[in-house]
């Protein structure tokens, strides 16, 4: 009987402790769930609000949304620890020390974050720009904390670490409204240079996409091994660069053929000498 009395006494003593810790666990779970939901909702709200604001660049939208979500999740974790009576000041100090150790181990990842911040501050390009990054051409879709996401002109997804983007040459093909289209055409040495140049000038004058200012350049560029080179440099709107290039090449070939102007093949004169 004494044993049952001891068990009953112990259970009476443990019951408040079990109830207290049980309520703490349930409260922590509820805080985690609520924090996770609020983090997702807040990130979505920030993304929708900033994407509609004219003052906020599209490049900053995903960064602001991700930062909001991470901050709320960190606050949620601290609130859960506080639910169990853990001193958050000491936890923050421990997290700081752990962050330093993790930072040393993840230098590559941190360099991506630092490079991403520099891209956002200096803004060599923004979302929607056509770029050439170290020989990789594409259109920017998103600049994240770690990666820059693009898609190529033939719609292939490209993900590039920010450290690589920041550490190489960046050409922004969409920075300016107008661009120059550089082309070279060759004619035979027996052909009339002025006639060929007049044909090209006429083609440029008839194309509405070619800008009058700056005026297009049509000039003799070289005396090649088998041809006379004609350099053609019209200016046009950035969106018309490739269509204009394709059409001009086609028109020049057609007009040269119609006016008996030759585009020569590469050739060599070979002289044979016979020793008697």
Lookup: tokens for 241: 């660069």
Contact indicator for 143, 63 with CB cutoff of 8 Å = yes
Regarding predicted confidence, which is higher, 276 or 66? 66
For 116-143, what is the mean pLDDT?
A: 89
- Compute CA distances 197 → 136, 219, 260, whole Å: 35, 7, 13
Q: Which of the four CATH numbers 1.10.10.200, 1.10.287.1260, 1.10.3720.10, 1.10.10.10 does domain 2-105 have?
A: 1.10.287.1260
SS3 18: helix
Give the Cβ contact number of residue 47 at 10 Å: 17
Q: Is 33:79 a contact under the CB 8 Å cutoff?
A: no
Instruction: Summarize the confidence of residues 192-220 as an average pLDDT.
Output: 94
Q: pLDDT confidence of 272, banded at 50, 70, 90?
A: confident
| pLDDT tens-digit map of 208-262 | 999 999 999 999 999 988 889 999 999 999 989 999 999 999 999 999 999 999 8
Residues 6+ away with beta carbon under 8 Å from 114: 163
Place of tokens 């550089």: 182
- Mean pLDDT (the chain) is 81
Residues 6 or more apart from 15 whose CB is under 8 A from it? Answer: none
Domain boundaries, the chain: 2-105, 125-172, 178-258
Alpha-helical (H) ranges within the chain are 2-52, 61-83, 88-105, 107-122, 162-166, 193-206, 241-258
Q: What does the pLDDT look like over 65-89, one tens digit per residue?
A: 777 888 888 788 777 776 666 665 6
CA angle 120, 126, 128 (to 5 degrees): 150
Quote the radius of gyration of the chain (alpha carbons, Å): 34
- The DSSP output letter for 179 is E
Distance CA 180, CA 211 (A): 10
Give how far Cα 252 sits from Cα of 35, 61, 199, 205, 214, Å: 66, 46, 8, 13, 21
Q: Which fold has domain 178-258?
A: Alpha-Beta Plaits (3.30.70)
Give the rounded distance of the alpha carbon of 264 from its chain centre: 42
* 2-105 and 125-172 agree in CATH topology: no
Task: Enter the tokens of residue 275.
Answer: 């020793």
171: phi then psi, degrees, rounded to nearest 5: -110, 120
| Phi, psi dihedrals of residue 135, rounded to the nearest 5° | 95, -5
Answer for the pair 247, 204: CB distance below 8 angstroms, yes or no. Answer: no
Tell the residue number behind the tokens 């259970």, with chain if given: 11
125-172: CATH topology is SH3 type barrels. (2.30.30)
Q: Taking a C-beta distance cutoff of 8 angstroms, is the pair 235, 180 a contact?
A: yes
At 236 the pLDDT is 96
């Amino acid at each position: 009987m004494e044993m049952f009395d001891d068990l009953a006494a112990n259970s009476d003593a443990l019951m408040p402790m079990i109830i207290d810790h049980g309520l703490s666990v349930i409260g922590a779970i509820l805080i985690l769930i609520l924090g996770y939901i609020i983090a997702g909702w807040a990130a979505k709200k920030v993304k929708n609000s900033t994407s509609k604001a004219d003052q906020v660049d599209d490049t900053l939208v995903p960064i602001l949304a991700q930062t909001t979500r991470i901050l709320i999740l960190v606050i949620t974790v601290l609130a859960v620890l506080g639910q169990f009576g853990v001193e958050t000041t000491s936890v923050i100090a421990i997290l700081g020390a752990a962050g330093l150790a993790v930072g040393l181990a993840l230098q590559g990842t941190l360099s991506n974050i630092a490079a991403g911040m520099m891209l956002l501050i200096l803004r060599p390009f923004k979302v929607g720009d056509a770029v050439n990054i170290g020989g990789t051409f594409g259109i920017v879709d998103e600049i994240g904390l770690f990666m820059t996401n693009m898609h190529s002109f033939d719609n292939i997804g490209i993900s590039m670490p920010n450290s690589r983007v920041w550490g190489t040459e960046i050409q922004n093909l969409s920075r300016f409204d107008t661009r120059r289209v550089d082309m070279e055409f060759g004619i035979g040495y027996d052909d009339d240079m002025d006639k060929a140049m007049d044909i090209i000038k006429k083609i440029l004058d008839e194309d509405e996409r070619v800008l009058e200012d700056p005026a297009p350049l049509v000039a003799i560029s070289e005396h090649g091994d088998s041809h006379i080179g004609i350099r053609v440099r019209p200016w046009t709107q950035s969106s018309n660069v490739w269509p204009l290039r394709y059409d001009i090449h086609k028109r020049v070939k057609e007009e040269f053929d119609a006016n008996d102007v030759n585009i020569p093949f590469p050739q060599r004169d070979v002289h044979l000498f016979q020793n008697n």
